Structure 1
Amino acid sequence: MAAAMTRKKAEELVEKAMKGNDSSHDASHVWRVRDLALSIARDEGLSSNSESMEIVELAALLHDIGDYKYIRDPSEARLVENFLDEEGIEETKKMKILAIINGMGFKDELAGLGLCESLPEFGVVQDADRLDAIGAIGIARCFTFGGSRNRVLHDPEIKPRTELTKKQYIKKEEQTTINHFHEKLLKMKKLMKTEAGKRMAEKKHKFMEEFLQEFYEEWDGKA
């Protein structure tokens, strides 16, 4: 009963905290990630452990609250930790949830930070988030986010950046929406941590490759 109440309150916090975000990072994104994470967790054999499943669900629900791209007030960075404290989440469980959330970002992987490979729940939640960033939904989210930041759609003169550092990734200058596919999204397939995530990524990756091929042909007036 307590876990169900905490989940409901977490859902309410998501709705409230993410209300002002563009639709690339809204509550619908979180619901998809939560569903994917629970599905992957079952495939990875975590369903027999109720604590693991609770960690997966709460980390998935809370993972984008306090996202650096959307923070409007410094206090928002502590929303998740404050919520877990208010809900009386046991310290060890709380630290696992925070470790997953704080370590799962692409920028942190670029910096070699935050990889909690020892936590089986980590790869589950990270893969779920990354699966929602690729495929048809991922393409839609990419263009939605680019539009919300008035980002250039495509400029053949601006080449995708290679060997990105965390600082370069966060930097906004000279980023185009199409280059984001090459700088991040097409790399997701190889970065999946779970076997279930790897399987799901195959089809989504192929769809993005086909989309980009069609995009470039139309851009060049060949289709």
Structure 2
Amino acid sequence: MRFLATILLFCAILVSFVHADTQPSTVVDILESDPRLSMFGEGLRLISELRTELRDETKSFTVFAPTTEAIRRAIAESPHILVEAMKGPCESSLRLLPSSNHFSTSTNLISPSPTPGAMSILARILSTHILPAEILSTQIPEMSARVEQTLSTPIPEGRPRFGTLVGSEHLVISRDGTNIYVQPVGMTYPAARVVVPDIVVKNGVVDIISGVLMPTNLVKEIPEYCYRR
């Protein structure tokens, strides 16, 4: 009997270790393993510096990750906006996004040979979706007035603003009952809704959202290197 109890205890400990090893430990693990986020995760793999930072378990992050469906929809519905945003400040053409037709058969986000400028812009877009702190849905303040997902004007002044990994970009995050909305400050396109909140890991939380958060200053800033060409 004692031998059987010892065997059962050993098996329980072994299973617990195996289970722990297979659990996602960082936000990167979620972003690169969840099939709903395949396009966002693919982009992250290309930006090694950002990926390394998000694997740091001594830091905390909140990632608002758009689904692949949301990214495809954004490209299909507003291709001119995304194409303009993806144009490099110096390059006459920037091979970052493939043609719209490409998205109907593939999840590839990046062209085979993206330019350094394209990679820089991709890093900025990804970083706009990330806060350098863990914010759970229960910490989001309730809105005093109802705001629908179809919001087409900037969220009113006074809403809390959260700084992203892009120093000049901030997000307004509001909760209306069980609905949470996210929108870059200064943008007028519809706010994204959190469809899956609080996927908690060791170094933060991932919230899956219904739309893409485009940086407000992306086309307003010209890097210094452009003037040295």
Q: Larger C-alpha radius of gyration, 1 or 2?
A: 2
Q: Which has the higher helix share?
A: 1
Identify whether the pair has TM-score above 0.5, normalized to the shorter chain: no
Q: Which has the higher strand share?
A: 2
Shorter chain as denominator, the TM-score bin is under 0.3
